[in-house]
Structure 1
Amino acid sequence: MRLLPQIRFCGVLILLLACVPLLAAEPAADSTQWPRFRGPGGNGYLPQASIPDQWDADDYDWQFDFGSRDVGSPIVQGGKVFLLATSPDSKNRKVVAIDLASGQSLWERSYPIAPYHTHSRNTYASSTPAANDTHLFVAWGEPTQTILKCFTHDGEEVWTRNFGSWVSQHGFGTSPALIGDLLVFFDSQQGGQLPAGVPPGQSRMIAVQPATGETVWETPLTTTRVCYGVPALYAPAGGKKQIVAANTGDGLFGLDYATGKKLWNEKVFSARCVSSPVVAGDLIVGTAGSGGGGNHLVAVRPTGDSAAEVYRITRGAPYVPSPVVAQSSMFLIDDKGFASCIDAATGDVHWMKRVGGNYGASPLVAGDKLLVISLNGEATVLAAKTEYAEIAKFDLGGPVGATPLLSDGRLLLRIGNRLCCLNVQSGS
């Protein structure tokens, strides 16, 4: 295992998830893999998949008990489930590998935790890993260090990067992602409202070589509030491939994929960005807000070195949960339990209904069904259509803060201390 030199640059690192652009022909998602937060393309949408209308605890193929509750989502690559977990005594952070078919533990690696303040809904294992065919990438941060590690699928450490201190109010919340040939890290720092004596951080975007961890490029960003959304890939027809992201200081912005050069930005936000932006045709869509409300969903259209706001939604806009684009529609669940379907191109609202509860997990669209799960573990299955229809509502038996995944005919749900696997091969 090689330990690479520490970069002396204060950082909160949010790794980018790629979202396949909808302008060009979108490659078919590989339904047997879920290699990053929100799955193939980073959008939480599997058009050919299906889920049952309803299920209960007796229907699970297996359940894996970690002895602790965390909000980081699992991933699936090569028949293995990878995720982070906190030890029951909160003294160690674990990288865990589980066999997808059987639920048996394959390996785990443990690393000591230096306690630090987090938001009441955050945990010490709130990051989602990323993986390709050969390697696994995980991240975590503490006030004195921000770690990005690479493992083989069998748990052998390959390289480690330490990007320096983590400056935030709410704790770590980044997720690594592979975008094309790059592993990209969104380092969003807190610039104010810090305890006495704590210097402001400095924000940047970082891209490294997945095989070696060596830096390819890094781009400075405006430092205001820590923002946790995972950026996306945007490849406009006839234009430059770019990484799009959202933060308070720069708004929605695009960086040249090859060099990291800022191509455009539109300052459309004044609050914190927590959800992940999505690509909807030639639009980039992001949200911002706070736990107290005042949320905005904004769509911009980039053109060359600028972008123009196309629409803005303030009623039913999510703060933490990310939108899902499915065909020409965008589905939302806001933090207070309002579900919506809007026209992704215009922002026109097809329907908005209160389904109840409070939300942190992002929605999932499988075929023609929309799954939303509240913080207290109530699942609601809706028709993913322009006309509202509730299919089922039922209790999962424990709190849910992590976004679910659907891979290789299996739905994985992090419920309380357990990871639960439901075989959905036949749907319902």
Structure 2
Amino acid sequence: MKPLLPSRAFSPALKLTVALAFCLLLTTAQAENWPRFRGIDGSGISSEKGFPQSWTEKDYAWHKELPGLGHSSPSIWGDNLFVTSALGEGETRYLYCLDPKTGAEKWKAETKLKKSHKHRKGSWASSTPATDGEHVYVEFADEETYLLICYDLKGNKIWERNLGSFTSQHGHGSSPMIYKNLVIATNDQQGPSSVTAFNKLTGETVWKADRAVRRTSYATPIIIDHPNTGPQLICVSGATGISSLDPETGKVNWTTGEFPMRTVSSPVYGEGLIFATCGGGGRGKLLYGVDPTGSGNVKETHIKYERSTKLPYVPTPVVYEGHLYLWGDSGVVSCVDLTTQNNVWTERVDGGYSSSPVCINGVLYCMTENGDVAMIDASPKFKSYEKISLGDPSHATVVVANGQMFLRTFKHLYCLNAKK
């Protein structure tokens, strides 16, 4: 189940070039941006160091109250932090740009929509913005309107696209993502569904892939670059299961066929496999680990790992150092050895979870719904740490960028600096 890496003989000059590039990569990784939901590639993994497993109120660099309610995570690029919030019953939505060093507001952009329903665990600002350091992209939706909006870094609206009505049971939850000169929106809902790529500078449609319709999906896609296939856009929904599209054209490469239930957690890629779950009622019901080198319907040929017990429904898994970490909604966490496919351990980390774990320098951080930061080692040997309470509920995923950790609750945002 390891990735199929091509064998090559390297010349001394090429070895030196690779070594220099690797040193540059290490330097860059020490101060990395967090431009989308769950980081650079959606894996939820950061190599940054210096973050503690114990801290107190006085250790925060800053703490800011955000008006209204929101479950989105921040996205960060350099000296700009972007986060969303909503007032009332969703009729007023905000995109904020803050200074990540101080929490000071640089600007905010307001979007007016209709009042709309939401799930008791949802919000009207659950979509995490995406940024490339030149623009920021945000999605908001009500029953009649689904907006994708582009702003420059000074808060000027550059373009806006209305993707039509949005029909769902639980509201809108997926997040935009950027690939090269494209910004991609996944619109898997109970009405007409599609994945659409827009020119990120002009908002013009580059391609649109119509999708089968069933229940709304709340998952955010990822891009993988497998050595044998090149880039693939990986999407999940109940109606299509796990599917691979050509990110340049939207053409479908392969699909597993439909999942039996809806998808909330997002796909992840590691050890040569794509992992994704479906579920309902607060429990994951089925997980596939798919080899992404197939074509057409790959259900019978390329599903290399399957699991139907002790699975997350909302939290997205993490693949780290040959192991798959499954953090369940009720706090049941499992570690799977992907070489042997054996379950290494299953332990309970008390709490309910509507956020996704992220791995920071070998430690998994995940927010409980009560607003506690739970931490365990991402290791074949289970070790947990005492939770840190933030005193306000949270459904947002932890973010780390450029030597800072950001913890978002329903109404607050906390910043914790790494220790030197």
Q: State if a TM-score over 0.5 links the two structures.
A: yes
How far did 1:341 drift?
1.6
- Within-5 A mapping of 1:113-124: 113-124=113-124
- Within-5 A mapping of 1:205-216: 205-216=195-206
| Cα distance in 1, alignment partners of residues 88 and 200 from structure 2 | 31
How far did 1:264 drift?
0.7
Q: Structure 1's 175 and 294: CA in aligned 2 closer, same or farther, altered over 3 A? A: closer
- Within-5 A mapping of 1:261-300: 261-267=251-257, 269-293=259-283, 295-300=285-290
| Cα distance in 1, alignment partners of residues 179 and 5 from structure 2 | 17
Cross-structure match for 2:323: 329
How far did 1:222 drift?
1.1
Say which SS state the counterpart of residue 289 (structure 1) adopts: strand
What is the letter of the counterpart of residue 112 of structure 2?
Answer: P
Paired residues of 1:312 and 1:347 also in contact (CA < 8 A): no
Q: Aligned residues: percent identity? A: 33
1:302 to 258, 279, 292: 292
Unaligned residue ranges in structure 2 (runs of 5+): 7-17
| Cα distance in 2, alignment partners of residues 185 and 104 from structure 1 | 30
| Cα distance in 2, alignment partners of residues 233 and 128 from structure 1 | 17
Cross-structure match for 1:354: 348
How far did 1:23 drift?
6.2
| Cα distance in 1, alignment partners of residues 118 and 131 from structure 2 | 27
| Cα distance in 2, alignment partners of residues 382 and 262 from structure 1 | 38
Unaligned residue ranges in structure 1 (runs of 5+): 1-20, 191-200
For each residue in 1:353-409, what CA deviation from the matched residue of structure 2 results, as whole angstroms up to 9, or x when unmatched? 001111011001111211122101222221111110113323222211111100111
Cross-structure match for 2:55: 55
How far did 1:183 drift?
0.9
What is the letter of the counterpart of residue 145 of structure 1?
Answer: T
Cross-structure match for 2:153: 153
Greater than 6 Å deviation, 4+ residue runs = 21-29
Cross-structure match for 2:42: 42
How far did 1:86 drift?
1.3
Cross-structure match for 2:313: 319
Q: Structure 1's 40 and 425: CA in aligned 2 closer, same or farther, altered over 3 A? A: farther
Q: Structure 1's 285 and 171: CA in aligned 2 closer, same or farther, altered over 3 A? A: same
Paired residues of 1:383 and 1:390 also in contact (CA < 8 A): yes
Q: CA RMSD in A?
A: 2.0
What is the letter of the counterpart of residue 99 of structure 1?
Answer: D
How far did 1:315 drift?
2.2
Cross-structure match for 1:252: 242
| Cα distance in 2, alignment partners of residues 345 and 38 from structure 1 | 25
How far did 1:124 drift?
1.0
User: Is 2:399 the counterpart of 1:405?
Assistant: yes
Q: Per chain length, whose mean CA-contact separation is higher, i.e. which structure has more relative contact order (CA < 8 Å, sep 6+)?
A: 1
TM (norm. structure 1) is 0.88
User: Is 2:386 the counterpart of 1:392?
Assistant: yes
Say which SS state the counterpart of residue 279 (structure 1) adopts: strand
Cross-structure match for 2:137: 137
Paired residues of 1:263 and 1:305 also in contact (CA < 8 A): yes
Q: Structure 1's 422 and 237: CA in aligned 2 closer, same or farther, altered over 3 A? A: same
| Cα distance in 2, alignment partners of residues 315 and 39 from structure 1 | 28
Cross-structure match for 1:186: 186
Q: Which moved more, 1:404-413 or 1:108-117?
A: 108-117
Say which SS state the counterpart of residue 58 (structure 1) adopts: helix
| Cα distance in 1, alignment partners of residues 45 and 5 from structure 2 | 16
Say which SS state the counterpart of residue 124 (structure 2) adopts: coil
Paired residues of 1:364 and 1:372 also in contact (CA < 8 A): yes
Paired residues of 2:239 and 2:258 also in contact (CA < 8 A): no
TM (norm. structure 2) is 0.89
| Cα distance in 2, alignment partners of residues 134 and 372 from structure 1 | 30
| Cα distance in 2, alignment partners of residues 166 and 89 from structure 1 | 16
Q: Structure 1's 182 and 65: CA in aligned 2 closer, same or farther, altered over 3 A? A: same
| Cα distance in 2, alignment partners of residues 378 and 229 from structure 1 | 24
How far did 1:85 drift?
0.9
| Cα distance in 1, alignment partners of residues 397 and 268 from structure 2 | 16
Paired residues of 1:51 and 1:369 also in contact (CA < 8 A): no
Paired residues of 2:315 and 2:356 also in contact (CA < 8 A): yes
Say which SS state the counterpart of residue 395 (structure 2) adopts: coil
Q: Which moved more, 1:160-169 or 1:346-355?
A: 346-355
What is the letter of the counterpart of residue 300 of structure 1?
Answer: V
Q: Structure 1's 69 and 345: CA in aligned 2 closer, same or farther, altered over 3 A? A: farther
2:212 to 211, 219, 222: 222
